[in-house]
């Protein structure tokens, strides 16, 4: 529930105040991190309830229950994006907000719903992470946002919006994990790992920009010919 509430706050800032999504993401991330450190005094939370620990130890067919949660949320999100009016609106809004508005999507409301769904997914991920490690480190994912972006663009998402898929994102996460583990096993210094992640993002964004410009030129030629 807290994830949904935080997502609604972010979505409202983007939809109502017209603040760029990337600014809201980075700004509110810093705010939430600061609040977390304030509420926890920067200390780890180790007094996790026993029922929660037992939940994290559940296995089905010798497979940890967290795997089923991960698969379940991936399948649900896939079907939502591919087969629902809301899901098609996500891609329409990312590709061309004005066109999305013309075909019947209410831009502000859709934006808030998207951020609320994102908050829900973050909340589920936090529960799964806590059930695995049985403790909470308030600094656990600081600086991890670039890895997330790299994984998404590796999976084929257009960072400019309008393109992407759940299977592609999963593949991107797995590829980045393989790259990270390979670099660690090869004793590659940490700074090289950061350089590689940054390079992946730059190359992917450059590719998307070039491809978008080519599409615009193609559309312009078609308009001229007509």
Pick from 84-88, 171-175, 211-215: least confident: 211-215
For the chain, give every domain's residue range.
1-142, 143-226
Residue of 24 and 222 predicted with greater confidence:
24
Residues 66-108 pLDDT 10s: 888 889 999 999 999 889 888 888 888 877 777 777 777 888 8
Return the pLDDT at 100: 77
Q: At what angle do helices 65-83 and 166-185 cross, to 10 degrees?
A: 140
- Is 90 exceeded by the pLDDT of residue 157? no
Return the pLDDT at 11: 92
Residues 38-67 pLDDT 10s: 888 878 888 888 888 888 888 888 888 888
Enter the tokens of residue 79.
């079907």
Return the pLDDT at 79: 93
CB 99 within 8 A of CB 162: no
Provide the mean pLDDT of the chain: 83
Enter the tokens of residue 84.
């629902």
Q: What is the 3-state secondary structure (H, E, C) of 140-177?
A: CCCCCHHHHHHHHHHCCCCCCCCCCCHHHHHHHHHHHH
Mean pLDDT computed over 178-203: 81
Return the pLDDT at 222: 56
The DSSP bridge partners found for residue 136 are 45
């Amino acid at each position: 529930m807290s994830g949904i509430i935080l997502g609604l706050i972010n979505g409202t800032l983007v939809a109502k105040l017209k603040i760029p999504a990337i600014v809201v993401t980075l700004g509110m991330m810093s705010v939430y991190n600061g609040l977390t450190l304030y509420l926890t005094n920067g200390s780890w939370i180790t007094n996790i309830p026993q029922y929660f620990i037992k939940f994290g130890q559940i296995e089905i067919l010798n497979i940890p229950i967290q795997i089923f949660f991960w698969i379940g949320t991936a399948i649900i999100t896939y079907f939502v994006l591919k087969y629902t009016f809301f899901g098609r609106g996500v891609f329409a809004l990312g590709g061309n907000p004005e066109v999305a508005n013309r075909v019947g999507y209410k831009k502000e409301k859709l934006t808030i719903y998207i951020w609320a769904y994102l908050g829900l997914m973050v909340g589920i991920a936090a529960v799964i992470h806590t059930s695995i490690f049985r403790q909470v480190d308030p600094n656990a994912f600081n600086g991890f946002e670039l890895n997330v972006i790299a994984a998404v663009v590796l999976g084929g998402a257009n960072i400019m919006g309008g393109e992407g898929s759940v299977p592609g994102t999963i593949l991107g996460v797995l590829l980045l994990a393989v790259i990270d583990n390979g670099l660690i096993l090869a004793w590659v210094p940490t700074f090289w790992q950061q350089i590689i992640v940054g390079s992946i993002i730059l190359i992917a964004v450059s590719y998307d920009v070039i491809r978008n410009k080519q599409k615009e030129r193609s559309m312009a030629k078609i308009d001229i010919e007509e």
